[in-house]
A = this chain, B = another copy of it.
Amino acid sequence: MKILLIEDEEKAVKFLKKGLNEHNIDVDFALDGSAGVELAMTNEYDVIISDIIVPGMNGFDLTRHLRMHGIKAPVILLTALNATDDKVLGLEVGADDYLTKPYEFKELLARLKALSRRGKETPPPKLILTFGDTEMNLTGKECTRQGKKIELTPKEFALMEYFIRNQGRVVSKVEIAEKVWDINFETSSNVVEVYVNYLRNKIDKPFEKKIIHTVFGVGYVLKDE
């Protein structure tokens, strides 16, 4: 998340910037109104926080200005005043929220999150991993090759996912045992071999080109040829 902070008290800026950064929020700031507008019009922010009283342009005018120019980023106004009339004016001008100083940092953070959330109500994107003509849809737990659906059991799916995430790199059996099976000790089991075999039957056998290759003495690798 990236926000714009318009505030003329440098101490406040510093404090907020530090606090917000700790929560993984990027902060651009401007020390006066016009600089703020300038930044707001040339960058995309998730939220804009502005003190009501800043040099150059007050928070109301600033908000009105932004709205007139089609900038829809949510605006939070900060003020030392507690007059209802100011709040009303702020909201009417197009601000989205209002915080009275002294405010608690926690509250500011919560409001930030609430506001930024509203812009992004799109469902999470489909997670899809691919290698050549092979595709894995992690959202739907589906695997296809050349458009044909391939039914995989959970372990097979996990193994294939590990291969596809490490395509082109040779992965050892020990590594696979650790990452896919959570086996950390030396073991004489041959599960990995068995499952590689299962996978090959489904992923390679029915097709022209094989993509799961054995590197003798080292491990396996997912690649063309």
Which chain A residues have a beta carbon within 8 Å of chain B's beta carbons?
72, 84-85, 87-88, 91-92, 94-97, 104, 106-107, 109-111, 113-114, 117-118, 121-122, 139-141, 149, 153-154, 168-170, 215-218, 221, 223, 225
Q: Verify B113–A91 contact, CB threshold 8 A.
A: yes
Q: Taking A139-B170, A140-B169, A216-B154 as contacts, is the C-beta distance between A110 and B96 under 8 angstroms?
A: no
Q: State how many copies of this chain the complex holds.
A: 2
Q: Verify A106–B118 contact, CB threshold 8 A.
A: no
Of the residues B87, B114, B149, B221, contact of A141 by C-beta under 8 Å: B221
Q: Verify A91–B118 contact, CB threshold 8 A.
A: no
In the assembled complex, the Cα of A196 lies from the Cα of B69 at a distance in Å of 43
Extra contacts, 4 of them, besides A94-B114, A94-B117, A95-B114 (Cβ < 8 A), are A84-B104, A84-B106, A91-B113, A92-B114
Contacts of A122 on B, CB cut-off 8 Å?
121
In the assembled complex, the Cα of A97 lies from the Cα of B91 at a distance in Å of 12
Top 3 nearest A-B pairs (CB, nearest first) are A154-B217, A91-B114, A88-B110
Contacts of A110 on B, CB cut-off 8 Å?
87-88, 91-92
Q: Verify B113–A92 contact, CB threshold 8 A.
A: yes
